[in-house]
Each structure stands twice: as C-alpha cells, then as structure tokens.
Amino acid sequence: MNRTDIELRSWLGLLVVLGPVLLVAMDGSVLFLAMPAVTDALAPSADEALWILDSYGFAVGALLIAFGTIGDRYGRKRLLMIGAAMFGIGSVGAAFATSPELLIAFRVLMGVAGATLLPSALAVLGTLFTDPRRRAQAIGIFAATFAAGFAIGPIVAGQLLTRFWWGSVLLINVPVVLVFSVLAPILLGEVRATGLGRVDVASVITSASGLLAAMYAVKHVAAQGISTSSVTVGLTGVALLGWFGRRQGRIDNPLIDFTLFRNRVFTIAIITGFLPLAAWSATAYLAATYLQSVLGVSIADAALLAVPGALVLTVAAVVTPAVVARIGRSAALITAHFTIAIGLLLLLPTSTGGGAGWYIAATAVAGIGYGISFSVVADIAVAAVPAERAGAAAALAETGNELGNALGIALFGSLAAVLFRVHGPDLAPTLGETLHLPGLAPAVLDDARSAFVSGVHVVAATAAILHGVLGSVAIRVLRARRSPSAEVSHARRDHLGDVHQVVARGHG
C-alpha cells in the first residue's frame, strides 16, 4: 500500500470514528427540546425529568476513566465495537420506552456505551495518524466534532420533532451505529497497551455509587424538599466519594491520580472542563423550556433560534488552535471564562413577555467561550503535567467535561426547581406539570411562568459569577506561571501529538 493509500485510509478511518463521537456528544443535549413532548407522553415527576436528562451524562462521566483503562488492557477497537452495539440497543430501547423508569434505564445503558466510545476513539487516532502534524489536525477535528455535537443536538431534535414523535431524536443513532459496525473492522486497527495493572473494581463501584447517591439527594431535595431519607442518602454518597478518594492514594493503579491536582494550572484546566459544560447544559435545557412553555415558541422555531449559538460555538472550537498559536493557551482560557460570563448575563433581561432576541445574543456570545474551552482544556491539562502522566491528565479532562454535562443539570437544574417550588403557585413541582393542570386561572399561569423565569435568571447569574471568579483566578495563576512570550512559544509546540501517543499507549 503506497503512502497516498495509507493517508486516504487514515482519513476514512477518522470519518468512521467521528460518527460515534458525534452521537455521544449529541445525546448529551438532544432531549433538551424534546422534554415537553416527553412530559406529555410519559408524565415524569420532577426528579424523574431531571434523571431523564442527566442519567446519560452521569453514566458517561462516572465510567469514562474505568473504560479508558479497560480499553488499554483488552483492546480499543474491541471496546469500540461492543460500545457501538450497546449504544444502538440503548437508543432503540429509549426511543420506544413506555415509562419514565424505562427511559432512564435505557439512557443509563447509552451512557455506559458512551463511556466506552470516547476514550477508545481518541486513542485509535494515534494509530491512524503517525505523522505528528496530521495527528494534531485529526485531534482538532475530533474536538470540533465533539463540541458541535453538543451544540447541534437540540437543533436536530427540533427538526425531527416537527415531523415525528419524541423517540425519533434517539432513533437517528441507529444508522450511524450500523455504518460504524460495518466499516470499523475494515479501517481501524487494534490498540492495546501492555504492562497495565488490573482495573480496581471497588473504585469503579464506589465512585459511581457515591455520585449516584449524592445526585439523587440533590434532586430529591429540589423536587420535594429536605427529608430524612434524602439527607441519609446524600451523606452516604459523600462518604462513598470520600472513601474512593482515600483509596486512590493507597492502590497501585488508581482510577484518578489525585496528586495531579497539586498543580494549580492543571486544577484550573479541569475545573474549566467542568464548569462551562455545567453552565451550558443547564441553561440550554432551561432555555428550551423557556422558549416553548413561557414564550409559546414552536419546536421548529426554538430549534432555529438555537442555530446562531451553535454555529458560533462550532466555529470557535475549530479556530481556537490557530488562535492559541498566536495568543497562547492562558489568554485563550481566560477569554473563555469572561465571554461565557457575559453571555450568561445577557439572559437576565428575558421575561415572560419576550426575550428571544436576548436568548440569541446570549448563546452567541457565550458560544465563543464554550468553543474555546471545549477545544483548549485538554491541551492545557496535559501541558501542565510531566509527559509520562499525560494520559491520566487527558482522561481527567474528558471526565470533567462529561460530569459537567451531567452535574450541570443536576445542580443548576435543581436550583431552578427549588426556586420554582418556593416562588411558584405550589400546585406542581415543575412548570410543565403546572401548565397541564386543568382549569387554572390566567393569573396562576402567569405566576408559574414568572417563577420559572426567575429561576432561569438566578441560574444564569450564579453560573456567570462562578465563571467570573474562575477567570480572575486564572489570570493570577496562569499569568504568574509563564510570561506571554514563553506561553505563545509553548503553544506552538506540537504537544497534542505527543500527548495522544501516550493516550494510545495507555492512560496514566
């Protein structure tokens, strides 16, 4: 096989890999616009609605590092094939779910499958592209595809929901999975690391169980108020996570190397991977409900209103590597935080009487910061640690993204739910359920919509303040760490190519 054929095969392999990557990202957001339709069809409770949205992201984030290690040990392509099949089965089951519990269960299955796909797809790129320059280009396309998937999920859902039932937004995964299953064995080579220790099953179970218990407690308090059971479950979750953290320092092959967080630059990068996705997922979900249930915008029009922000986010992710080469990683990261903060604040003028224009402006401005953060976080994280620990750093960066997507809805969504329960008409725990109650007076409906909008404002302001604080901390830490000229010089190195060679060999 000549060089041209090898290069063509590599790019075709990349296209095949990008299919599952796009699906994993899209399915983190594809139900945002569909939730009013899901509510009509399945009548989930307030906490069930939140679980429908973020059980998927929770499963991905909780198991990402574990499956990264499993793939290193037993083979990336094998794990990709298994994960793709599971993703397809989960998508079909979720699409035809007849109850909230079934939908949540199949969304969890999809999340488990997604956790197998992301690290394996990234590692496979190391075998497809041996030239560092080509590999860096491929990784840039990978990052842009992942960012675009989150952004276009609601748009794709909007187009489908105007023609089909809500389950269609999940069935679109099936053709992509089938194409991948046919072409992947032909175009992709196996990637396996040697000399790795066993996966610590106790760490996997305690980390997932601890997160699950803590999130359940938060959701329960948001929907129904404080109770003995919610406090007990919450404390159990915290205890499990504490035990998990201590265990990581005692075992030879930890799932998370917490010593990496001693590096302040690395810590800021991981928080940056978490916070923007937390803010984006929560505000995207709340804004979709606002447009449809408060302003009365149709699904099709709500999808169109999301297009400008999605385009800005995708373009920002694509051009960020070139921008970083000029201004450096630190300046790019700081810019991301402050543009996201400004964008979130632009949601504050929205009201029950109007605000679609403010929504477009908010998503467009924040989209700049989201695109930058999605593209640059992993690079900053791995640049902050020694080369031999780059794999662990990259895995933590990916995990931060996925947990941000899940916990954003759990935490910020729960905050909005609490505010609605306190300030709303107290007839039902969510706006959707309230609007479906028969015989309500117009004044009561207006009160419910006003309470929901107030919750959106508080969530947007809280997230904006957190981004402003983190941006200010980043200015002090990152600028003190490296002079601007040295930063730009370092940004121009082909570091990602070296990093993902490490990832392909094995995490940590």
pLDDT of amino acid 73: 65
| Alpha carbons 300 and 210: distance in angstroms, whole number | 39
CB of 316 within 8 A of CB of 367? yes
pLDDT band at 2; cut points 50, 70, 90: low
464 shares a domain with 439:
yes
Q: Dump the DSSP string for 44-87.
A: --HHHHHHHHHHHHHHHHHHHHHHHHHHHHH-HHHHHHHHHHHH
Tell which residue, 284, 294, 223, has the closest CA to residue 50: 223
pLDDT band at 249; cut points 50, 70, 90: confident
| Alpha carbons 119 and 52: distance in angstroms, whole number | 24
pLDDT of amino acid 468: 94
* Sign of the alpha-carbon torsion through 298, 301, 307, 309: negative
242 shares a domain with 116:
no
88-109 burial, b at 16+ Cβ within 10 Å, e below that, comes to: bbbbbbbbebeebeebbbbbbb
Mapped onto helix, strand or coil, the DSSP state of residue 354 is: strand
| This model's pTM is above 0.75 | no
167 shares a domain with 231:
no
Tell which residue, 487, 273, 260, has the closest CA to residue 393: 260
186 shares a domain with 78:
yes
Tens of pLDDT, residues 19-54: 887 887 777 777 777 888 888 888 888 778 878 877
| Alpha carbons 376 and 491: distance in angstroms, whole number | 10
231 shares a domain with 369:
no
Tell which residue, 40, 31, 72, has the closest CA to residue 171: 31
Question: Which CATH number is 258's domain given?
Answer: 1.20.1250.20
pLDDT of amino acid 499: 41
User: Please, which residues bridge with residue 354 across strands?
Assistant: 351
CB of 218 within 8 A of CB of 415? no
425 shares a domain with 322:
yes
| Alpha carbons 7 and 306: distance in angstroms, whole number | 36
Q: Classify residue 262 by its DSSP letter.
A: G
99 shares a domain with 66:
yes
433 shares a domain with 359:
yes
356 shares a domain with 436:
yes
Tens of pLDDT, residues 188-235: 766 555 555 567 788 878 887 887 788 778 777 766 677 888 889 889
123 shares a domain with 20:
yes
- Domain boundary residue, one of 211, 228, 252: 252
| Alpha carbons 254 and 211: distance in angstroms, whole number | 17
Tens of pLDDT, residues 385-423: 665 565 566 667 777 776 777 677 778 887 888 888 888
Q: Look up the domain containing 231 and give its range.
A: 200-252
Q: Token digits for 6?
A: 């090898």
- Count the neighbouring beta carbons within 10 Å of the beta carbon of residue 482: 17
| Alpha carbons 88 and 110: distance in angstroms, whole number | 8
CB of 123 within 8 A of CB of 399? no
Mapped onto helix, strand or coil, the DSSP state of residue 249 is: coil
Domain count, the chain: 2
- Domain boundary residue, one of 231, 252, 273: 252
386 shares a domain with 429:
yes
110 shares a domain with 96:
yes
CB of 200 within 8 A of CB of 255? yes
- Domain boundary residue, one of 188, 221, 252: 252
Q: Is the pLDDT of residue 287 over 80?
A: yes
